Amino acid sequence: MNLDLLTVESTRTAVLEKQTTATALADAFYAKIEADDPAIGAYLTLCKDRAYSQAAAIDALADKGDALPPLAGVPIAVKDVFTTKGVRTTAASKVLGNFIAPYDATVVSRLEDAGAVILGKTNCDEFAMGSSNENSGFGPVRNPRDHSRVPGGSSGGSAAAIAAGTAVAAIGSDTGGSIRQPAAFCGVVGLMPTYGRVSRYGLIAFASSLDHPGPFGKTVKDAALMLQVLAGRDPLDSTTADVPVPDYCAYVGQPVTGLKVGVPAEYFGEGLDAEVRAAVESGIQKLAKAGAEVVPLSLPHTPYAIPTYYVIATAEASSNLARYDGVRYGLRVEGKSLAEMYRRTRDAGFGAEVKRRIMLGTYVLSAGYYDAYYLKAQRVRSLLARDFDEAFAKVDVLVTPTAPTPAFKLGEKIDDPLAMYLADIFTVTADLVGIPGISIPCGKSREGLPIGMQILGKHFDEGTVLRVAHVVEHALASKMVYEISS
């Protein structure tokens, strides 16, 4: 069985039809992780005992002929910002280097209730802060398509695990593009649901009003099957919405005839790589050929999205990360006074990017600067939301590039934070306004690097996003063989 070609659906079918067993799949994936992952660095922690226990339970159901749950036997990787009971949970930070979580995140428990086999926890930018997965406290992740390049961030480990064939599907979190941008760089599918569609309970917070948990897969249908399990109201998270969860797979395969597809001019301007432009425009042409109406439009406040995002996100980060002080859990570096212990613990435990964002956030929230920065950013956030409301009064979805370039070289932008932040220029707006979005492969550069197309939809209309994405996927034949670069 070729592990690189397995999808969520084909894996469950293989277990259901007894072509293989969940235990045999776990054996095969762990062997592949052992052989291939040292060169990539996608995994931080493996949870073999937990995985084999789950696999045995699925095999017992299959042996008895009982109905199998929707993700039965599917090997899945989970970004290490989701708590896993009894398993190390670090957020890729030395400050939580030996933290064993006492409870499961809702995302984790829903996956396992659906029969998924969680292989391990994936590497990421520390506390999900980054666009390249070079900010991890435990070393960078390398792009399986080209080991000299980044996989994107912050959920680069999850995207890389799928691209490398060391997981069938994965879970990440998206705060400013951290599912969609790695999906684009690694040539996989990454879905960010509407804010409040998937529970954040057990997600180690970066920016609480921006964090969106969501799935990665090899196909659009993978993403739909995963979201079906993850979506819905959670009494443990007051920000989850009490909104009906539709049958997402019913949207996959529906035609797009009559749908209006908006193309915002601001996403196709200066700084967009020519090959990326050509690939995305080709995808838009495929939608037009399939019967969709292409509508040019404008989102005029888009140029303010990056500064708005980095004011709001850093402000929330400075508040959320105040809890890591060496007193309650995680790393503790002793000092002669309480203040010295705080200082030494944080200095040893946090990396440079996390410290930078804490300082920025503390500054914009400080007396004398709150109105000038944070309050103004919230007002601009409202203007961005108004842009999207006006756009969605005219169209059903928006189509844009996911990132302005294909994956860049490791180390290329690490010393230039502003250049790194601009890698998220096409993704941060969706997080700020809370709408759903997906990135799907839509072509390759001359160097063979994947290019991603982003499709954005109305609040809680993931179904239409998946519908449009599947049409593009089918038209571009992007259910590709996953060839791994060495």
> Beta strand 260-264 with 293-297: parallel, antiparallel or unpaired?
parallel
Contact 119, 29 (CB under 8 A): yes
Contact 78, 117 (CB under 8 A): no
Kindly give, in sequence order, each residue whose CB lies less than 8 Å from that of residue 328, ignoring residues fewer than 6 positions away: none
**Which of these, 219, 186, 170, 162, lies nearest to 479 by C-alpha position?**
219
Contact 462, 479 (CB under 8 A): no
Q: How far apart are CA 436 and CA 195, in angstroms?
A: 8
Contact 313, 176 (CB under 8 A): yes
Number of H-type helices and E-type strands within the chain: 15, 11
Q: How many CB atoms lie within 10 A of CB 11?
A: 26
DSSP secondary structure code for residue 449 in this structure: -
Q: How far apart are CA 223 and CA 441, in angstroms?
A: 13
Catalytic residues: 79, 154, 178
Q: What are phi and psi of 450, to 5 degrees?
A: -65, 150
Alpha helices in 231-273 (DSSP H): none
The continuous run of DSSP H or E covering 1 comes out as: none
Contact 175, 204 (CB under 8 A): no
Instruction: Write the burial class of residue 28 (CB in 10 Å: 0-12 exposed, 13-18 middle, 19+ buried).
Output: middle
Length of the chain counted residue by residue = 486
**Which of these, 441, 446, 438, 484, lies nearest to 463 by C-alpha position?**
438
Contact 321, 360 (CB under 8 A): no
What are the DSSP E strand ranges found in 144-200?
Answer: 169-174, 189-192
Alpha helices in 85-144 (DSSP H): 106-113
Q: What are phi and psi of 121, to 5 degrees?
A: -105, 135
Helix axes 48-64, 8-16, angle to 10 degrees: 50
The continuous run of DSSP H or E covering 78 comes out as: strand 75-79
Written as one letter, the residue type at 459 is H
Q: Provide DSSP, 453-464.
A: EEEEESTT-HHH
Q: Is 233 helix (H, G, I), strand (E, B) or coil?
A: coil
